[in-house]
Chain A
Amino acid sequence: MTRQPQTPSIDFTALTLKDALDLAILIEEEARDRYEELSAQLVLHRTPGAAAFFSKMVRIEELHRKQLLEERTKAFGDQPSAVRREMIFDIEAPDYDEARAEMTTRQALETALRSEEKAHRFFVEVLSHVQNPEVKKLFEELRDEEVEHQQLVKAELAKLPPGDPLQGVDVGDGPAPQ
């Protein structure tokens, strides 16, 4: 006899275009905030390369959020939103567990790649439940954008020298426990 928690979840079969746009905005917002947190953690733990890359991701996710917000405002003005940040969990945001003190820039890029893949899987999965044709179209676009983002990250990865000359080399104190 377990009492069900009260946090409402999203019913994708009943999602309207307004809710879908709001959800997409929240997904970008969550990713932006997570990259911001990870970047701050890595600055604190003297990992500047990965911190700088995560900071770049903050700007990218914010740009995506703003574009979606514009679209939403054009179509629905300031009509109240029915979806909340509490309803989503790490859709495009990297898991906390991805960050490590002294991680390399390559590892940071690989983290971003895994996050874009995760978001792609999310849209593929929910598309099988969506019924509203407008929502379907929006989610298909977003799903395809995730593939484009993956390609961009892969291109950046290809520019990096293979491996990291300092990886595994004892360059000083290990991560400081807090």
Chain B
Amino acid sequence: MTAPAVFEAKHYKSELKPIWCPGCGDFGVLQGLYRALSAVGRPPHEVAFISGIGCSSRIPGYTTAYGFNTVHGRSLPIAQGVKLANPDLLVVVAGGDGDGFSIGGGHVAHAVRRNIDLTYLVMDNQVYGLTKGQLSPTSPKGLETVTSPLGSLEDPINPLLYMLAYGAGFVAQATPADMPGMTALIEEAIRYPGFSFVNIQSPCVTFGEEDQQLKAHKTKMKTLASLKHDSSNQLAALDLARAYGTELYTGVFYRNPNPPPTYEALVKLRQAEQSKKARPHHQLLEAYLQK
């Protein structure tokens, strides 16, 4: 056993009481998040939570870290701005599948390809919770909702393939049905030096389907470790990710064994190079006067 961390999980918990429906999966996610932050050990004032709009996007308010509950679908661009303005901050982005893959879907590719050191946690409940259970981009085909009374005709998007295909360096999936496993994955994602993504299957107890609730997860989930998956094998990760929607695999699908430099590190390098070429300050005025 190691010495106690300076920051305990309770230090990240704000006074604000969550108003989620009792039983909502997001309660467990929030607990896991507090614990993961405590394990990482960064003080709350060095952490920023950025979210969009949705039930899950309320998370920033429930933490003592800096928080910005922004605009629907715009958490990623705002988080990128926050991180570039203050690269020392630990920036965690949180939101729902609607926020991230519907209205915000266009931002994912750019956040991934820039490889800014953000941790993106999507609470995937396969519906729009906040607005009362409409079809979301991850809703299974055939799902009957208020916006698809005869059943959805669309195939769901696959968040795991989405992220892997754009080249994310860290892609994992978790469920609060396995709290220690989920907490460890969030921690690992935060520690990954670059863009990291965890798809958290976080059930909506009010509008979600029976087979997507935590009780069902407990019987369905299978760890990638038990399948002997090598998380440094991107092709194997892509293959396993195809089972999204039919199997509930938890664990790290892909972790780049040689993380490339982050965008912010490249910016710093560029600034250093450019400043070498720059004239000393005292010469600037002379150059100006000569003109």
On A, residues with C-beta under 8 Å from B are 1-3, 5-8, 10-11, 19, 37-38, 40-42, 44-45, 47, 80-86, 89-90, 95-101, 103, 174-178
Are A7 and B23 touching (Cβ within 8 A)?
A: no
Are B8 and A85 touching (Cβ within 8 A)?
A: yes
Chain B proximity of A2: nearest CB distance (Å): 5
Are A95 and B184 touching (Cβ within 8 A)?
A: no
Rounded to whole angstroms, the CA-CA distance of A85 and B12 in the bound complex is: 14
Are B207 and A6 touching (Cβ within 8 A)?
A: no
Kindly list chain A residues whose C-beta atoms are within 8 Å of the C-beta of B21: 45, 101, 175-178
**Known A-B contacts A83-B1, A86-B35; A97 and B215 likewise in contact (beta carbons under 8 Å):** yes
Rounded to whole angstroms, the CA-CA distance of A10 and B24 in the bound complex is: 29
Are A7 and B9 touching (Cβ within 8 A)?
A: no
Chain B proximity of A176: nearest CB distance (Å): 8
Are A82 and B1 touching (Cβ within 8 A)?
A: yes
**How would you classify the secondary structure of chain B's contact residues: helix, strand, loop or mixed?**
loop
Kindly list chain B residues whose C-beta atoms are within 8 Å of the C-beta of A98: 23
Are A7 and B35 touching (Cβ within 8 A)?
A: yes
**Known A-B contacts A3-B191, A96-B27; A44 and B1 likewise in contact (beta carbons under 8 Å):** no
**How would you classify the secondary structure of chain A's contact residues: helix, strand, loop or mixed?**
loop
**Known A-B contacts A83-B1, A90-B179, A96-B27; A5 and B22 likewise in contact (beta carbons under 8 Å):** no
Determine if B52 is an interface residue (Cβ-Cβ < 8 Å): no
Kindly list chain A residues whose C-beta atoms are within 8 Å of the C-beta of B290: none
Are A81 and B4 touching (Cβ within 8 A)?
A: yes
Q: Give the one of B38, B180, B225 with max A CB within 10 A.
A: B180
6 closest Cβ contacts across the A-B interface?
A99-B22, A96-B27, A5-B184, A7-B39, A97-B214, A41-B22
Are A6 and B39 touching (Cβ within 8 A)?
A: yes
Are B9 and A86 touching (Cβ within 8 A)?
A: yes
Are B19 and A6 touching (Cβ within 8 A)?
A: no
Determine if B183 is an interface residue (Cβ-Cβ < 8 Å): yes
Chain A proximity of B284: nearest CB distance (Å): 47
Are B207 and A177 touching (Cβ within 8 A)?
A: yes
User: B23-34 CB contact bits vs A (8 Å, 1 = yes)?
Assistant: 111011001000
Q: Give the one of B27, B55, B176, B255 with max A CB within 10 A.
A: B27
Which of the segments B42-50, B101-109, B127-135, B154-162 contacts the partner chain? B127-135
Determine if B232 is an interface residue (Cβ-Cβ < 8 Å): yes
Rounded to whole angstroms, the CA-CA distance of A105 and B9 in the bound complex is: 31
Determine if B188 is an interface residue (Cβ-Cβ < 8 Å): yes
Chain A proximity of B61: nearest CB distance (Å): 12
Are A177 and B183 touching (Cβ within 8 A)?
A: no
Q: Which of A1, A6, A42, A82 contacts B232 (CB 8 A)?
A: A1
User: B188-209 CB contact bits vs A (8 Å, 1 = yes)?
Assistant: 1001000000000001011100
